[in-house]
Structure 1
Amino acid sequence: MKMKYQTVELVQVGKTATLYLNRVQSMNAMDVKMLEELSNCLKEIADSDILLLFITGRGRAFSAGGDVKTMLSSNDESQFQPVMETIKEMIITLYTLPAVTVSFINGAAAGLGLSFALASDIVLAEKQAKVAMNFINIGLVPDGGGHFFLKKRLGEHAAKQVIWEGKTLSAEDALKTGMIDSVYEGDTEEQMLLWKTKMEARPLQAMIATKTIFSCQEKALLIDTLNAETENQLNMRRTSDHIEGVAAFLEKRVAQFTGQ
């Protein structure tokens, strides 16, 4: 890879690469810089000879989600649309990537971080990992295609319950719902080596062709979903419940919502 990044790290061996989220000090929370770098890195991967991409987080988390302190506490709406456009580009590029993608959830994957993981073809979680689609706790709706991916994996009714409850799920519970594909024990790096050996023995070009057929069918719906999430997210940011949710998050207390 040609480009150098500050918040992500890409390691390529042959036609297999690992993309590490690398804001360890913030549990890999996605600030504007990371979103831009993820989008650019994925576009670079799309133009490369990589056939197999693993995604995981450095440190003790996959990603804690969007960086609430820098993104959600701001009242500057002029910055909102560019950020959402970057998220849109990042998710569409990952979903349509001409490579088989596998997310290894190590530690927490929450909010936008979980949406990002779910955009992969295969989603695995370490046994002690926790996942949460927890936008509701700050009066927001999922973004990053969260509605699209949860509906595909769980069905509409179950997806609504997960979104509305905003609960933190164990890896085993997430597996039972169908949100993730498998739970593994032990070191994530070791698991990636095992998967590298297994997947490189598969006809990856044929697998990618199947992926492309499906993603071409569904891309327009994903784009519509991302656009709807952007519109509704902006509306929710203007509500009293969101303002209270952010304040409660920053003050580490229980939010008192009023439906306003």
Structure 2
Amino acid sequence: MTTQNAPVLLNVDGRVATLTLNRPEVLNAMDVPMLREIVERLKEVESNDAVDVLVLTGSGRGFSAGGDIKSMLSSTDESAFLPVMETISEMMITLYSLPKLVISAIHGPAAGLGLSFALAADYIFAEKQSKLAMNFIGIGLIPDGGGHFFLERRLGETKTKQVIWEGKTMGADEAFSLGLVDQLVEVELQNAVSEKINEWLHKPVKAMVKTKAILADANKQKLLNVLELEKYGQQEMRSTKDHREGVQAFLEKRRPNFTGK
């Protein structure tokens, strides 16, 4: 159990663990301390043989707004960028390879890195009012956290490019129709999640986890390759004029004027 003011809360109740992103004042945007804490908590779940199911959720008004742009902008230390990306890679590989059944329970926004994180789960719930966005394009960047990998698994290559290039915010209905979400929830998200957990816990979970492990092992190298390409691709995009314009427009709350440079 973690303290209530920690950036990540982990609660274990019998065979079920719940990892809650806990920076509600910034819509659970992920800064470096939070990323490191997520890795630690995931490894804690990984080593707990009593746990069969992990639920990912967010406190407050949303799942996660993604990477903490304001904390990134406050850092002028460019040498810190690649280590941060490596922490993100460790987080996503750990989550994808986790020998547990993983559920994402999305309410409110799940955007950018927050959406990549949610998409790494085995089953994704979304409240009808939730909003999903792979919105890096708005500040001249590319998805990270394996976003290209997880989107392509669910959408295929062509639709993945379209979703990334549009960068728009999707309602839960549209996300469900695309296949980004496995189940829409109209009333109580927790009740729907509990029903799925109960269903799974009455199945031979070891066999389910073995199937997951076989597929993850077969695809893990591709995810590692994508994470590496995203790391250096993102570094390259951070030096573009369009990225600087996107950030300036974000700070000034106006539409960016991109020039393709």
Shared fold (TM-score, shorter chain, > 0.5): yes
1:176 aligns with 2:177: yes
The alignment covers a number of residue pairs equal to: 260
Aligned 1:10-29 pairs, distance under 5 A: 10-29=10-29
CA deviation vs aligned residue, 1:40-61 (integer Å, no higher than 9, x gap): 1111111112110011111110
SS of the counterpart of 2:37?
helix
Aligned 1:65-104 pairs, distance under 5 A: 65-72=66-73, 74-104=75-105
Cα deviation, residue 12, structure 1 = 0.8
TM-score with structure 1 length normalisation? 0.96
Contact 1:5 1:37 in 2 (8 A): no
CA deviation vs aligned residue, 1:197-229 (integer Å, no higher than 9, x gap): 222112111110000000000000000000000
Q: 1:72 to 1:182 in 2, by over 3 A?
A: farther
Q: Distance in 1 between matches of 2:116 and 2:135?
A: 11
TM-score with structure 2 length normalisation? 0.96
Match of 2:236 in 1: 235
Q: Distance in 2 between matches of 1:194 and 1:37?
A: 29
Q: Distance in 2 between matches of 1:195 and 1:72?
A: 40
Q: Distance in 1 between matches of 2:91 and 2:5?
A: 15
Match of 1:31 in 2: 31
Letter in 2 for 1:91: M
CA deviation vs aligned residue, 1:127-172 (integer Å, no higher than 9, x gap): 1000000000000000000000111100000000000000100111
Cα deviation, residue 3, structure 1 = 9.1
Q: Distance in 1 between matches of 2:76 and 2:159?
A: 33
Cα deviation, residue 68, structure 1 = 0.4
Letter in 2 for 1:122: Y
Cα deviation, residue 194, structure 1 = 2.1
Q: 1:220 to 1:257 in 2, by over 3 A?
A: same
Q: 1:186 to 1:16 in 2, by over 3 A?
A: same
Q: Which runs of 5+ in 2 are unaligned?
A: none
Q: Which runs of 5+ in 1 are unaligned?
A: none
Contact 1:129 1:171 in 2 (8 A): yes
Match of 1:64 in 2: 65
